[in-house]
Amino acid sequence: MNITSNNLSYSKKPKIFNHPERFVEGWYWVIPSTKISVGEVKPITILGKELVIYRGEDKQVVILDAFCPHFGAHLAEGTVEGNELRCFFHHWKFDAAGFCVEIPCLEEAVKVRTKSWPTAEKYGLVWIWTGETPQQPLPFIPELEFDEFDHAFGKHLLLNCHPNVFMINAIDTQHFNTVHKLLSEFNFHKQEINENAITFVNTTNESPDSHLIKLIRPIYKKPVNFSLCYWYGMTGFITIGIGILQFNIMFACRLAEAGKADIKTVFLAKKNKSIFGKMYNIFLLWLSQFVIEYFIKNDAKILRTIQFKLKSPLDFDQSIINFVNHLENQKALKWQTWYMDRTRNGEEEVEKRPKREKWHDELVND
Ligand code: FES
Ligand SMILES: [Fe+2]
């Protein structure tokens, strides 16, 4: 059912947004690239699905369904041989495309294939595409699509709120003033850059009362650039810029069990090959951590207890409605199976959502 309130049109019971068992087909972060070296194989669980990851001699990362198509042994018990993976149980061998290429007790392997998922590496992370063929490039910031980055990892958090709810915090204009005491006026211009990505760019000059702006004003006269770029409603880039101080922060999220957010924070700085540039980037990435701490320090206490409902939005909440509407038009998959969600309306599903117990945020060691 679509309703209109204060000229805002949105679905009252969205079938993807804030749903604990739905996500959009797309690219999702898997593990830091350095955590999987050549010849290594590991079990992983992404968006509820059990998978196996290995890195072959050719340095390519491969992700297959976890269980061997013969008798179902977990392939992470196996060994990497060249660019292939051999099952521990009866020694069947699978190539990067998932084809069985060797069965020791037969002269020729039978035609068996396990599912191989598209992978890529960027921003220091391994990524997986949760469908057949990638329909989009890896998440990027529009004006920096072809740039290379230095990166530094921030916290890896398991947060007691849905990733979509965590994402919209950065476009929730009212709370900038109430929670962060930051800016009293904000106005976002939204642009859908493709079916799966939407940007919000602040077009307002900041209020002179703002503490942060008062602090910056003597050294910087132009408006502070603040923009967001969201992919699949779960990976968000925040760009905060004042002159050469340009902070790019990526929150790469996945939907964890019972609708929680599994968040990897990555700080990014455009690569610069000069010695000074390299040193400056180290400083910038270090400083980024303080900027982000400043923003999310007070959000944490809201996000760990919130039971988000889109009940009575105001015109101020237009950007959030834009985010929800953009998300609802994307291809939904079911958590754990990754099958397409074919229900026409998520209403009956909503009632079955698992309840979240009292819970603490968790810092995860990768
Ligand atoms: S279970 Fe893997 S080879 Fe038999
Ligand atoms: Fe916030």
Per residue in 229-268, pLDDT (tens digit) is: 999 999 999 998 877 788 899 999 999 999 999 999 999 9
How far, in Å, from the CA of 117 to the mean position of ligand 1? 20
185: pLDDT confidence band, cut at 50, 70 and 90? confident
How far, in Å, from the CA of 65 to the mean position of ligand 1? 13
Looking at the CA of residue 73, tell me the nearest atom of ligand 1. Answer: 1
Distance CA 24, CA 345 (A): 15
The tokens describing 240, both together, are: 């905060």
Stretch 200-207: mean pLDDT: 76
How far, in Å, from the CA of 1 to the mean position of ligand 2? 30
Stretch 311-329: mean pLDDT: 91
Q: What is the pLDDT of residues 25-34, one digit of tens each?
A: 999 999 999 9
How far, in Å, from the CA of 8 to the mean position of ligand 1? 55
Contact 255, 163 (CB under 8 A): yes
Give the chain's mean pLDDT: 87
Give the closest ligand to the alpha carbon of residue 74. Answer: 1
Give the closest ligand to the alpha carbon of residue 87. Answer: 1
Burial (CB count within 10 angstroms: exposed 0-12, middle 13-18, buried 19+), residue 314: exposed
Give the closest ligand to the alpha carbon of residue 166. Answer: 2
**How much is the pLDDT for 129?**
98
How far, in Å, from the CA of 33 to the mean position of ligand 1? 28
Looking at the CA of residue 78, tell me the nearest atom of ligand 1. Answer: 2
Burial (CB count within 10 angstroms: exposed 0-12, middle 13-18, buried 19+), residue 339: exposed
How far, in Å, from the CA of 295 to the mean position of ligand 2? 5
By C-alpha distance, which of 83, 86, 124 is closest to 104?
86
Does pLDDT of 103 surpass 90?
yes
**How much is the pLDDT for 1?**
46
362: pLDDT confidence band, cut at 50, 70 and 90? low
**How much is the pLDDT for 187?**
84
Whether residue 68 has its Cβ less than 6 Å from ligand 1: yes
Give the closest ligand to the alpha carbon of residue 294. Answer: 2
Its CATH class, for the domain covering 36-117, is mainly beta
Whether residue 356 has its Cβ less than 6 Å from ligand 1: no
Choice among 136-150, 204-218, 239-253, 347-361 with the minimum mean pLDDT: 347-361
CA distances from 61 to 8, 26, 58, 161, 261 (A): 45, 18, 9, 31, 25
Stretch 64-70: mean pLDDT: 97
The protein residue with its alpha carbon nearest to ligand 1, atom 3, reads: 90
Q: Between 293 and 271, name the one with better pLDDT.
A: 271
Contact 238, 114 (CB under 8 A): no
Whether residue 73 has its Cβ less than 6 Å from ligand 1: yes
The protein residue with its alpha carbon nearest to ligand 1, atom 1, reads: 71
Distance CA 135, CA 146 (A): 18
Does pLDDT of 184 surpass 70?
no
**How much is the pLDDT for 7?**
57
How far, in Å, from the CA of 108 to the mean position of ligand 1? 16
**How much is the pLDDT for 210?**
60
pTM: 0.89
In the chain, the percentage of residues whose pLDDT exceeds 90 is 61
The protein residue with its alpha carbon nearest to ligand 1, atom 4, reads: 90
Distance CA 65, CA 53 (A): 9
216: pLDDT confidence band, cut at 50, 70 and 90? low
Looking at the CA of residue 71, tell me the nearest atom of ligand 1. Answer: 1
Stretch 317-335: mean pLDDT: 94
212: pLDDT confidence band, cut at 50, 70 and 90? low
**How much is the pLDDT for 351?**
44
**How much is the pLDDT for 134?**
96
**How much is the pLDDT for 3?**
47
**How much is the pLDDT for 86?**
98
Numbered ranges of CATH 3.30.530.20 in the chain? 2-23+135-363
Numbered ranges of CATH 2.102.10.10 in the chain? 36-117
Does pLDDT of 353 surpass 80?
no
CA angle 303, 176, 123 (to 5 degrees): 65
- Name the β-bridge partners of 202: 188
Stretch 14-21: mean pLDDT: 93
**How much is the pLDDT for 66?**
97
Does pLDDT of 213 surpass 70?
no
**Which mutation among 89, 100, 114 tests ligand 1's pocket best, with the greatest number of atoms within 8 A of CB?**
89
Q: What is the pLDDT of residues 132-180, one digit of tens each?
A: 999 999 999 998 889 999 999 998 889 989 999 999 999 998 888 888 8
Stretch 18-24: mean pLDDT: 95
Query: Does the domain at residues 2-23+135-363 carry the CATH identifier 3.30.530.20?
Result: yes
Contact 74, 65 (CB under 8 A): no
